[in-house]
Amino acid sequence: MWAIIGWLVAIWVVLAVVGAVVKGLFWLAVIGVVLLAVTAAYGAIKAKR
């Protein structure tokens, strides 16, 4: 399970960086940050169980 969450976090970070670097893809940065936060929250909730 942690491997999947780790891969998702890595993908979301890459999307956020690409969106921040390419000015026309700012929306991609926003989506990447939102998905990163959701994945991190999900991982934190699963870790407490």
Q: How confident is the model at residue 12, as a pLDDT?
A: 84
Distance CA 49, CA 31 (A): 28
Round to whole Å and give the CA distance between 49 and 47: 6
Q: Mean pLDDT by 10-residue block, N- to C-terminus, for the chain (49 residues)? A: 82 84 79 86 84
**Residue extents of the structural domains in the chain:** 2-48
pTM above 0.95, yes or no: no
